[in-house]
A and B are shown apart, each in its own frame.
Chain A
């Protein structure tokens, strides 16, 4: 158990809908990352937050947005869902600063039908 908690674990929704994925980082970790992993693909970096502020952005679609709240939990919002958005979405957290281990949650499986 990495200490990173993601909910829901599985989600099935229809095209055009909107979903929210939630992540609680490890106690004390200030950085939260979101990664997308499509079937048998690599880990695509979406976005990173540090202590409530956006720190870095990757290949995140405009239909997707995220935020980190004062209690450090984070949410990833996916809207106008398309079939191609079906993927495993990982949240990860790390302590402050560079060169720290990133701990992954178990992921949220999203299936768009």
Chain B
């Protein structure tokens, strides 16, 4: 039931763009995206609901294709502060619980 994330890891130079993908084998009600710095709590980025539109703030946005049970997180013009591990969490229509994927490690270098 755990969603699949790709890539596992990515290294970017400042200013480059990245896409992180998340997919599930189950019909989804919502997809949650978080960023975690090492040893810290995951920080909420955005939530996408079934039937909702693409969301975004600043240079980070996300889309949710509920038919394909997939979501993508788009990071544009990356900054050093974007470094961390990105987790997608999926919630199906049966329960309220959110199951997180294995994470994508993103490193932004000068």
Which residues of A come within 8 Å of B, CB atoms? 2, 31, 33, 35, 41-43, 45, 48, 50, 55-56, 58, 88, 90, 94, 97-107
Contact = CB atoms under 8 A, between A and B. Distances in A.
Contacts of B49: 99
A11 B91 CA distance: 31
A101 B32 contact: yes
The interface centre, meaning the residue of A2, A58, A104 with most chain B CB atoms within 10 A of its CB, is: A104
Contacts of B34: 104
A99 B30 contact: yes
Interface in B44-82: 44, 47, 49
A94 B47 CA distance: 13
Contacts of B30: 98-99
Contact of A56 (B32, B44, B95, B102): B95
A98 B95 CA distance: 8
Contact of A43 (B39, B40, B87, B96): B87
A2 B36 CA distance: 14
Instruction: Say which size band chain B's interface belongs to.
Output: 20 to 34
17 contacts: A41-B102, A45-B97, A45-B98, A48-B96, A50-B96, A55-B95, A58-B97, A90-B41, A98-B91, A99-B49, A101-B32, A101-B44, A102-B44, A102-B89, A102-B98, A104-B41, A107-B41
B31 to A, nearest CB: 10
B42 interface: yes
Contacts of A55: 95-97
A104 B102 contact: no
Nearest to A105: B41
A45 B42 CA distance: 14
Given A98-B91, A99-B49, A101-B47, A43 B97 contact: no
Contacts of A35: 100
Given A99-B91, A103-B44, A42 B103 contact: yes
Contacts of B93: 98
